[in-house]
Structure 1
Amino acid sequence: MTSTGPFLVAGANRPLGALIALDLAARGRKVVATRRHPNPELDAHLRDAGIEIAPLDLTDLPAVRALAPEVSGVVLTPILSISGPAAHVFSEGGVSRGVVFSSNNVAIVGADPVYDRLRAAEKDVLDSAPGWAILRPTMIYGYPGDGNLSKLLRLLAKLPVFPRLGSGRASQQPIHVEDLARLAAALVSNDWDATGILAVGGPQTLSHRDLIATARRASGHNSIDIPIPLGPVRALVSLVSALGLKLPLSPAQLARVNLDKAAIDPAEIPAHLRPRITPEDGLTRLARLLEL
């Protein structure tokens, strides 16, 4: 590791990686933003901020090994079950400060192939890279295509009656992508001196029902939500899945509908870094981006 080398941010063709790279550059840090596939609009924005852009496939471990001695710290934005081997190689190569991403669901969901792989990857980082930080964010949102609240906003704008699954009482604590990027940049640059597993969520915890109501206001549409019992839906989805047909929700996702999803054992975040974008503000901004 070179103490004067740049910070490497992998996955900069996606909003989270790009925002982390921009945050580090705004702090006066030298940054190399890497990605497998170009994103012309983001690439131009990064170059305008003085950020170097380079191709990198994190599964190409010899390439990762060659880069390790050249960088001061790394942020690997692909989920840890994918980036874990690269994190191991960077650490072996002398990178003592790194940030990787897991999921708050690891602490919520029981035995499950997806989260079992994440748990194993977390353990490897904890064992092999003691100076690294593992961020466990709650639901990430704030950009088109975030996979969660973007879909919800579009559905609320389209459907006069929205089918709300489950009791609606389960807690939600979505974290805006800008807040998460700021935390990751602070960790790798030692503005936030913390290591190990760090569960983080947004500044406000809502029930599932209240989150839908907040999204409805943000979308500007007056739809109503109708509660749908989970039992019959689970039976139908299981039957259809067994026939090999694809549905918007899987049986595993349905099993998590009524689980509380606020940050489990949340990290102690310094006051100047605490997430500040509320669901009301963040969803209103997202609705504008979606042109709803």
Structure 2
Amino acid sequence: MLQAQIGGLDYQDFERNNVQASQYILDTIHESTQPPYLVHISSSVVESVADDFYSRSKRRQEQLVLDSGIACPILRPTLMFGWFDRKHLGWLSRFMQKVPVFPIPGHGRYIRQPLYVGDFCDIIIACMEQRDFHEIYNISGQEHIDYIDMIRQIRRCIGARCLITKIPYGLFHRLLATWAVFDRNPPFTTQQLAALVARDEFEIIDWPGIFGVTATPYATAIEETFHDPKYGQIKLEF
């Protein structure tokens, strides 16, 4: 169960996609004579200091799963990236190829723990195949990387020529707010900006050992994301 509303300006979208849809699925499982094995995809934001539409709805969603009494693994991934990413790092990589200047809010030294989606898929597969995981697992990226360094590495990887420029947080906030006036579904919102600078740091557990998978180093994963001959050039519209 990994459907989720991640961004947007209307809380009702988060309510419908993260809370109500999950309740329908849980109700269907309870009605089944042979309940399917459930793997629930929560999020690291349930333990974040941020209080925005996404984190609020994901906390409610996870609590629904806990209250359901259905024994299942609950996986809490951090920021994910990889093939077919129309948002997050995928969108940022395409943006920096189109503009001469790439803005960074404030000093840019915000700790990120990016998780390669290929590794997370391996964890989900392990859960479905072994079916003996029934706890909450914090699936954080194994490396701590500053946001600005992530952006610089992506720029090097894709060969973008934009100038990475730090701008004051307040100005960055106003620019996003202005964008939202003209775009009802903006790729990034002021709430997501606040989450970026919230200084969250999430627990790192030995998920490679627990699930029997291999963690891909960030530098290697970035190369696979953008340079894979089959999938690296596929771009999904936002």
Does the TM-score normalized on the shorter chain lie above 0.5?
yes
Q: Which residue identity does 1:254 align to in structure 2?
A: L
State the AA in 1 paired with 2:130: N
Q: Name the structure 1 match of 2:92.
A: 152
**1:87–1:188: structure 2 CA closer, same or farther, 3 Å change rule?**
farther
In structure 2, the residue matched to 1:269 is 207
- Within 5 Å, give how 1:67-146 maps onto structure 2: 76-79=1-4, 80-81=18-19, 82-91=21-30, 93=32, 94-95=34-35, 97-146=37-86
Amino acid at match of 1:77: L
Distance 1:275 1:209, change over 3 A: farther
C-alpha separation between the residues in 2 aligned to 1:217 and 1:202? 21
Question: Per-residue displacement from partner, 1:63-112 (whole Å, max 9, x unpaired)?
Answer: xxxxxxxxxxxxx2323533343034314535373101122122214433
Partner of 1:210: 149
- 8 Å CA contact 1:199, 1:265 repeated in 2: yes
Structure 1 residues 254 and 119 mapped into 2: Cα distance closer, same or farther (>3 Å)?
same
RCO comparison, higher one (Cα < 8 Å, 6+):
2
Q: Secondary structure at the match of 2:171?
A: helix
Number of matched pairs: 213
Distance in 1, Cα, partners of 2:125 & 2:30: 18
Q: How does 1:15-94 map to 2 (within 5 A)?
A: 76-79=1-4, 80-81=18-19, 82-91=21-30, 93=32, 94=34
Identify the match of residue 173 of structure 2 among 218, 223, 234: 234
Asked if 1:181 corresponds to 2:181, the answer is no
Question: What residue identity is the alignment partner of 2:2?
Answer: T
Q: Secondary structure at the match of 1:256?
A: helix
Q: Cα deviations across residues 212-255 of structure 1 (Å, max 9, x unaligned)? A: 121112112343311011112324544664xx432543221221
TM-score (norm 2): 0.76
- Write the distance in 1 (CA, Å) between the matches of 2:135 and 2:23: 14
Contact kept, 8 Å, 2:113 with 2:145, in 1: the verdict is yes
For the residue of structure 1 that corresponds to 2:39, the secondary structure is strand
**How many Å separate the matches in 2 of 1:267 and 1:125?**
22
Match of 1:285 in 2: 224
SS in structure 2 opposite 1:168? coil
| Contact 1:199 1:266 survives alignment (8 Å) | yes
CA distance in 2, matches of 1:146, 1:101: 19
TM-score between the two structures when normalised by the length of structure 1 = 0.64
Residues 202 and 158 from structure 1, CA distance in 2 versus in 1: closer, same or farther, beyond 3 angstroms? same
Q: Is 2:122–2:213's contact at 8 Å kept on the other side of the alignment?
A: no
CA gap of 1:185–1:261, structure 2 versus 1, over 3 A, is farther
Contact preservation (8 Å) 2:50, 2:195: no
In the TM superposition, what is the alpha-carbon distance from 1:274 to its structure 2 partner? 4.5
How far residue 181 of structure 1 moved from its aligned partner, in angstroms, is 0.8
Structure 2 gap ranges (5+) = 5-17
Matched to 1:194, the amino acid is F
Task: Work out which of the residue numbers 137, 142, 160 in structure 2 matches 1:221.
Answer: 160
Q: Which residue of 1 aligns with 2:104?
A: 164
